[in-house]
Structure 1
C-alpha cells in the first residue's frame, strides 16, 4: 500500500504518553518531515513539537542519522529507497480541544499535534491504527476499515480528532443524514431527556438557514467533554469537539449556552471549514498565515449561533435580545474597541487573541464579539433593502464553499454589493476604522434601543481577585481612579482606611466610605501607600429593550429580522 501508515499506541494511559510510528516508502533519498506548528481553527503558533522526545528514524532495521533543521522540522539522507520507519513519543497532558490528553479514563487527541507531515506525501493516502487498552473503543470520524481508519490524504487525517475510552457513541439524524453523539462525562443531574432531540433541532435550523443539507453528509460526529470547568470548541469537516462545564449547566442560561456552542461549531462545517479565506486554502502547517477575513468566519458564525436557538424554537425573542445585548455591551464597554479595528483584530489574531494579558485586553477587541455586532448591523441594513445576511452567505457558499475555493476580501464585498450597493461602500469603513459600526442606528431601525445600566458601586477603575489569600489587582482601566493613584496590575491591596483587607467583601464594604480612600498596597514585596479618589458609578452593561414608541414600519422590519431566514 502506498502513502503513510500511522500507528498510535495508547496502551499505557497512566504514563500520559503517546508512542507514535509512521511508515512509508521513500520516493527520494533526501527525506524531510514536519510537525505542524499550529492547529487549524485555532490561529496561534503552539509549537506542538515541544511535547516530543525519543525520535528515531530507521530503514531495514538500522538507525538512520537525522538532523533537526528547525524547531519543528527534520531531515535525513538515505542510501536506498527501501521502506522507512519514524518513531517518537509525545507527552499528552493538555486537555484542550486543540492539543493531546491521555489518562486512565480516556484519550482525546488532536492529530495536528500528533502526526508528522512527510514531505512529498501530503496528498497521498494515510492509514491510521490505534492500539488501545482492554475495554476501550476508538472513535474517529474517518472511513473505518478492518485494521483501522483510512484518510484520502494528510489534511483529511489530521482533521479527524481521535477519542478513545470505555464508552460508546449514540446515533441521531439531521435532515435524514446519520450523525453520532459521543459524551465524555455525565452531569450530576443527568442529561436532559430531550438532549439529542434539541441538538437535532439546532442542527436542522443551521441547514434551514443555509438552505442545504449538512455538507458533511452521512458522517458527522459531536464530541462533548463535560468538565468541572472549561468552555470551548474546535470545528472539523466531519466533526466538532466541545468542552463545557457541568456547573454551567446548573445555571439559568447554561443549557442554552451549550446548545449555542453546539450550533456554532456545527455551522462551521459551512462557514470556515469549506467556505474559508484564501489564505487557508490549503493550510500551511509550517507558518502563520495572516488573514483579515477571520472576522467573517467567526463573527458571522457567532451571530448566527444566537439565531439558531431561536430558529429551532429553543429560545424566545427576549432571550435572543438578551444574548445579543451581551455582545453589544462588550463592544461598547471595551476600551480596545477604540484602538483596534475589526480587520486588525483578524490580522493580529496569531499574536494577541489567543495570548491574553491584562495589558493587551485593554487594547484589542475580539473578532468574535465585534464580528457578531457588525454581522447584526449588516443583517439589519440588508433587510432594509429587502435582503438578509443569510442570503449573502448562501451566495458565497454556492460560489466558493461547496467547491472548497478560498475567498478574498474583495469577494465578500462583491457578495454584499449584489444585495446592497451602498452597504458595500461603507463596509470597508466598518472593518478598518474603530468605532464605525452603527449599532444604535440599527437598533433604532428595529424599534429597539440600548439602555445603559450603571454599576451600584462607585468607580475605582480596577478589577480585583483573591488568589492564594491575597487581594490582587487584575486590571487597571485607562485614565481611571486606580491608574491616577499609581496602582498597576499585580499590586496586592493590603488595607484601606487603616483597616486590613481580608477579601473582596471587605473591599466592597470599605468602598461605602468617604470619596478618598487611603490605600496600603504591596508591589514586588515592598509596601506603598496612595490615595484612591472614587468617581461616580460607570456604565456596567447595556441591555436591549423594546421601544414602546416604535412605528409600524419599525415593527414590520423587526418581525422580518426575528424570522431569521
Structure 2
C-alpha cells in the first residue's frame, strides 16, 4: 500500500495522551517532516509541536538518528530505502475547535495538531486507523476503507476532525442531501424539540442564498459540543465543529445565536473552504501567510449568518436589525476603527486578532465585525443599482469557488465592478482607509437610523475588572481621563475620595461625586495617587431604529434588502 499509514491510539484516555504512528516507504535517503504550526481557519501560529514528546524513527527494527532543525521540523539520513516508522506522543488537554482533547468521556482531535507532513508525501494517499477504548465509536468525515479511513492526500486527511466516545450520531437532510449531526453533551434543560428541523432550515437557507446544493453533498458532518462555557466554530470542507455554552442557551437570544453560528460555519462550505483567498491555495503549514482577503472570508460570512435565520423564518425583521445593530454599534464606538483599516485587520490577523492585549483592545478592529458592516454597506449600495451582495458572491462562486481557485483582491473588485462600476472604484478606499464605510448613508437609504445611547455613568476612560479580590485596570481609552491622569492597564485601583474600594459597585458609586476624583492606586507594588478628572457620559452604543418619516422609495429598497437573496 503506497502513501502514508497513520495509527492514532486513544486507548488510555485518562492519561490525556495520544500515541501516533506514521509508516511510509521513502523514495530518497534524506527524509524530513514537520508538524503544522497552525490550524487552517484559525489564523495564528500555535506551534502544535509544543505538545509533542518521545519522537522516534525506526527502520527495519533499528532506531534512526533524527535531528530537529526547526521548532516543528525534523530530518534524518537513511542508509537504505526500506519502510520507516515514526512514533511520538502528544498531550491532548486543550478543548478548543483547533486543538486536541482526550479524557475518559470523549475525544476531540484537530488533525493539523496531530499528524506530521512527510516531505514528498503530501499529495499521496493517507490511510488512517483508530484504536479506541471499549464502547467508543469514532466519527469523522472521511470515506471508510477496509480497516480504517481513506484520505486522498494530506490536506484531505487533516481537514477531517475526529470525535470519539460512547455516543451516536443522527442524520439530517438539506436539499435532499444526507448529513450527520453529532451532539456531544446535552444542555441541562435538554435540546429544543425543533433543533434538527431548525438546523435543516438554516442550512437550506444557505443553499438558497448561494443557489446551489451543499458543496459537500451527502458527506457533511456537523458537530456541536455543549460546554459550561465557551463559544466558537471551525469550518472544514465536509464538516464543522462548534462549541457553545449551555448557559448561553438559557438567555433570550441564545438559541438564535447558536443557529447563526451553525449557519456561519455551514456557509463556509462555499466561502473560505472552496472560494478561498489565493494566499491559502494551497495551505502553507509551516508558516503564516498574509492575506488581505480575510475580511471577505469572515466578514461576508458573518453578514450572511445574520441573514440566514431571517431567510429560514427563524427570526423576524426587528430581530435581524437588532443583531446587525450590535455589529454596527461595535464599529462606531471602537477607537480601533480610526487606527486600523479593514484590509490591515486582515493582514494583521496572525499578530493581533487571536492575541488580545490591553493595547490591541483599543488599536485594532475585528475583520469579523467591521467586515460585517462593510458587507452591509456593499449590499445596500448594490441594491440601489438593482443588484445585491449575494449576486456578487454567487458570481464569484461560479467563476472561482466551484473550481477551487483562489481569489486575489483584484478579483473581488472586478466582481463588484460587474454589478456597479462606481462602487468598485470606492471599495478600495473602504478597505484601505480607516473609518471610511458609509454606515449612516446606507442606513438612511433603507429608511433606518442609528440612535446614540449614552452611558449612565460619567466617562472616566478606563475599564476595571475584579481579579482575585483586586480591582485592576484592564483597558485605558486613548486620550481619555484615565490616560491623562497617568493610569495604565495593570494598575490596581485601591481607593477613591479617601475610601477603600471593595468592588466594582463601590467604584461606580464613588465616581458619581465631584468632577475631580482622588485615586489611590498601586503599580508594581508601589502605592501612588493621582487626580482623575471625569467627563460627561459618552455614547456607549448605537441602536438601529425605523425612521418614521421614511419615503416610499426607501421602504421599497428596504423590502428588497430584507429579501436577502
Give the TM-score taking structure 2 as reference length: 0.99
Q: Secondary structure at the match of 1:20?
A: strand
Task: Give unmatched runs, 5+ long, in structure 1.
Answer: none
Deviation at 1:534, TM superposition (A): 1.2
| Deviation, structure 1 residue 283 | 0.5
Deviations 1:29-54 (CA, angstroms, capped at 9, x unpaired): 11111110110000111111111100
Q: Does 1:471 align with 2:483?
A: no
- Where does residue 170 of structure 1 map in the other structure? 170
Matched, 1:52 2:52: yes
Matched residue count? 565
Deviation at 1:533, TM superposition (A): 1.2
After superposition, give the CA deviation of every residue in 1:55-105 in whole Å (9 maximum; x if it has no partner). Answer: 000001100111111111111111111111000001111111001111111
Matched with 1:351 is 351
Q: Which residue of 2 aligns with 1:266?
A: 266
SS of the counterpart of 1:330? Answer: helix
Give how far 1:147 is off.
1.5
Q: Distance in 1 between matches of 2:135 and 2:502?
A: 50
Matching of residues 94-243 of structure 1 within 5 Å? 94-243=94-243
Deviations 1:512-542, CA, capped at 9 Å, x for gaps: 2111111111111111111111110010100
Matches of residues 285-434 of structure 1 in structure 2 within 5 Å?
Answer: 285-434=285-434
What corresponds to 2:38 in structure 1? 38
Say which is worse superposed, 487-496 or 551-560, in terms of deviation: 487-496
Deviation per CA, 1:219-265: give whole Å up to 9, x if none: 10111111111111000000000011110001000000000000000
- Structure 2: stretches of 5+ with no match in the other structure: none
Residue 505 of structure 1, CA deviation? 1.0
1:244: which partner in 2?
244
Q: Which residue of 2 aligns with 1:3?
A: 3
Q: Which residue of 2 aligns with 1:12?
A: 12
Aligned to 1:459: 459
Question: 1: CA distance between counterparts of 2:435 and 2:516?
Answer: 34
Q: Specify the SS of the correspondent of 2:144.
A: strand
Supply the distance in 1 between the matched residues of 2:411 and 2:503 (Cα, whole angstroms). 54
Distance 1:524 1:409 in 2: 47
Matching of residues 504-515 of structure 1 within 5 Å: 504-515=504-515
Residue pairs, 1:527-546, within 5 angstroms: 527-546=527-546
CA distance in 1, matches of 2:402, 2:418: 19
> How many Å separate the matches in 2 of 1:320 and 1:477?
30
Q: Report how far residue 144 of structure 1 moved.
A: 1.4
SS of 1:465's equivalent in the other structure is strand
3-state secondary structure, aligned to 1:144: coil
Match of 1:93 in 2: 93
Partner of 2:518: 518
Q: CA shift at 1:27, angstroms?
A: 1.0
- Matches of 2:389 and 2:371, distance apart in 1: 13
Distance 1:289 1:522 in 2: 42
**Equivalent-residue separation in structure 2 for 1:499 and 1:184 (angstroms):** 49
User: How far has the Cα of 1:506 moved from its partner?
Assistant: 1.0
CA deviation after TM superposition for structure 1 residue 146, in Å? 3.5
Q: CA deviation at 1:145?
A: 2.3
- Aligned equivalents of 1:248 and 1:498: distance in 2? 40
Cα-Cα RMSD: 0.6
Q: Take 2:345 and 2:519, find their aligned partners in 1: how far apart are those partners?
A: 37
Cα shift at 1:493: 1.0
Q: SS of the counterpart of 2:287?
A: coil
* Cα distance in structure 2, aligned partners of 1:183 and 1:485: 51
Distance between the aligned counterparts of 2:481 and 2:287, measured in 1?
43
What do the CA deviations read for 1:182-201 (whole angstroms, capped 9, x no partner)? 11111000000000100000
Encode CA deviations 1:96-120: one digit per residue, 9 max, x unaligned. 1001111111111000000000011
Q: Whole-Å Cα distance in 2 between the matches of residues 401 and 15 of structure 1?
A: 43
**Whole-Å Cα distance in 2 between the matches of residues 468 and 329 of structure 1?**
32
Structure 1's consecutive aligned runs of 4 or more residues displaced over 6 angstroms after TM superposition are: none
Instruction: Name the counterpart of 1:442.
Output: 442
Structure 1 distance, partners of 2:363, 2:540, is 19
* Alignment-derived partner of residue 82 in structure 2: 82
Cα offsets for 1:443-496 (capped at 9, x unmatched): 000000000000011111111111111111110111111111111111111111
